[in-house]
């Protein structure tokens, strides 16, 4: 194997092993690599929504503070390399080739790693070799049995919990919360933005069992909004107060994510990291996290958002209505068939004037005709288009200067749309 494409194809071929929750495999792989995860200081993040945004904010702040920061997130939007970053720069193609070859050579021939297990091992090995000052890890699914749950972090974050991945994590909020709270380690501080009493009860119970201090957004860590238009807020934390902060990502939910990230920063400061206030202000304002209420074009305005469940769809709806001005709203939606499609439709279709239903090139994607059946209830102007590229092209042709096109439903849909729109820009065929 001597090319990046071959390496990535090898990784994608591992998807044939599906999703296998459990730590036995990943621990075996890491042992053959001399346990690189034991040499990396980490922040570990679980939750239903906001994990990636919180991770990106933390990374941005710590980089501005002068640290070498590893970032491991999933899924990617356009390139596999986005999953593993050093100081916000995606891993190089050469390094992907090297890591794939090294891990293939060293692991037991009887080991059948999943895609996520192999990429998690790649991230751990890359961060250890790069001598990062800290690595921020986002769980792939759940927490307790997730491949990332091999670390003992400096701080644990559980953003929030709602029903998802019921086939793997359980059918109730309590069961799913137990899985996500499974990343809590003995004596390690926990930050959460969760507010639901039944979910909080589970998190509190896990913290008590592990003697882990719990800090809650809205109680121990608070915010006060200054300006709804540009996401300015005051931060009232455990050890400090910061005024007129600004989050560089749109949406009220990103302020909550920002406060959550700042709670983690305070814990890191308590543990010896030096983070000047200037790094906090600059890092929050300049955070870059594509595909999350990302404005990628104007006249008409084109927004990309990876909302993939009802809670995220509610946040998207609020942002579209409160932070944008438009004449007509055109929704382009492609959703995974295992998601709560009806719940998403209930929140988004009523505010749309036209809806284009499509399907990203991913095996879990719902057929647009099935989406149409579920959406027919709303009696909206709905169109089916099997290709994301063609769906976006159609939306652009239908939209007028003062309209808004929102592409959403899945990060897979958003990723394909983003790639297409960037290609149009490069060819000067779109503003």
**Predicted pLDDT of residue 2:** 63
pLDDT of residue 71: 99
Pull the structure tokens for residue 418.
């983003």
Task: Kindly report, residue by residue over 116-145, the tens digit of the pLDDT.
Answer: 999 999 999 999 999 999 999 999 998 999
Residue 21 confidence (pLDDT) above 60: yes
- Is it the case that residue 425 has pLDDT exceeding 90? no
230 φ/ψ sector (left φ>0, alpha ψ -120 to 50, else beta): alpha
Tokens standing for residue 377: 């209830």
Query: What count of residues does the chain have?
Result: 431
pLDDT score for 163: 80
Q: Is residue 251 a contact partner of residue 313, using CB atoms and an 8 Å limit?
A: no
| Burial (Cβ within 10 Å: 0-12, 13-18, ≥19) of residue 211 | exposed
- For 31, 147, 171, the CA distances from 23, given in Å and listed in that order, are 12, 6, 22
At 165 the pLDDT is 66
Find out whether 74 and 51 touch, Cβ atoms under 8 Å. Answer: no
Average of per-residue pLDDT values in the chain: 95
Question: What are the CA-CA distances from residue 62 to residues 87, 238, 258, 275, 418 (Å)?
Answer: 9, 19, 13, 7, 27
Query: What is the rounded distance in angstroms from the CA atom of residue 382 to the CA atom of residue 323?
Result: 25
Tell me the mean pLDDT in the region 9-17: 89
* Model confidence at 431: pLDDT above 60: no
At residue 330, does pLDDT exceed 80? yes
CATH 3.30.70.100 fits 294-426, yes or no: no
Taking alpha carbons only, the member of 32, 340, 319 closest to residue 165 is 340
Residue 194: which residues within 8 A CB-CB, separation 6 or more? 47, 158, 159, 160, 161, 200, 203, 216
CATH topology of domain 4-285: 3.40.1190
Domains of the chain, residue spans: 4-285, 294-426
Q: Give the β-pairing of 134-138 and 69-72.
A: parallel
| Phi, psi dihedrals of residue 231, rounded to the nearest 5° | 55, 45
Residue 219 pLDDT exceeds 60: yes
């Amino acid at each position: 194997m001597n090319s990046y494409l071959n390496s990535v194809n090898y990784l994608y071929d591992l998807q044939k092993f599906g999703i296998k929750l459990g730590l036995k495999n990943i621990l075996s792989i890491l042992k053959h690599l001399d346990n690189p995860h034991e040499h990396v200081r980490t922040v570990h993040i679980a939750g239903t929504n906001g994990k990636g945004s919180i991770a990106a904010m933390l990374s941005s702040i710590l980089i501005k503070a002068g640290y070498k920061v590893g970032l491991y997130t999933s899924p990617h939007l356009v390139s596999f390399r986005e999953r593993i970053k050093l100081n916000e720069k995606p891993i190089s193609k050469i390094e992907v080739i090297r890591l794939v070859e090294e891990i293939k050579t060293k692991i037991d021939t009887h080991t059948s790693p999943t895609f996520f297990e192999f990429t998690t091992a790649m991230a751990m090995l890359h961060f250890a070799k790069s001598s990062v000052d800290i690595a921020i890890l986002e769980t792939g699914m759940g927490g307790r049995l997730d491949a990332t749950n091999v670390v003992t972090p400096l701080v644990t974050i559980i953003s929030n919990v709602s029903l998802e991945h019921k086939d793997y994590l359980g059918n109730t909020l309590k069961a799913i919360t137990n899985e996500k709270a499974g990343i809590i380690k003995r004596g390690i501080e926990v930050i959460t933005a969760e507010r639901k009493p039944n979910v909080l009860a589970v998190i509190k119970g896990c913290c008590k069992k592990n003697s882990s201090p719990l800090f809650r957004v809205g109680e121990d860590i608070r915010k006060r909004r200054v300006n709804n238009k540009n996401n300015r807020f005051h931060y009232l934390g455990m050890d400090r107060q910061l005024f007129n902060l600004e989050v560089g990502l749109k949406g009220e939910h990103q302020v909550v994510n920002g406060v959550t990230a700042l709670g983690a920063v305070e814990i890191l400061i308590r543990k010896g990291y030096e983070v000047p206030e200037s790094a906090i202000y600059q890092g929050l304002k300049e955070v870059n996290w594509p595909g999350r209420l990302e404005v990628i074009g104007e006249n008409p305005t084109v927004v990309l958002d990876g909302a993939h469940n009802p809670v995220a769809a509610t946040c998207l709806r609020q942002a579209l209505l409160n932070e944008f001005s438009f004449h007509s709203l055109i929704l382009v939606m492609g959703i995974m068939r295992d998601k709560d499609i009806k719940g998403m439709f209930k929140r988004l279709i009523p505010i749309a004037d036209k809806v284009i239903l499509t399907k990203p090139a991913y095996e879990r994607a719902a057929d647009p005709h099935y989406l149409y059946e579920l959406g027919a209830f709303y009696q909206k102007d709905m169109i089916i288009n099997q290709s994301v590229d063609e769906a976006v092209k159609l939306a652009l042709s239908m939209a007028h200067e003062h309209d808004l096109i929102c592409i959403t439903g899945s990060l897979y849909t958003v990723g394909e749309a983003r790639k297409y729109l960037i290609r149009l820009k490069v060819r000067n065929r779109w503003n």
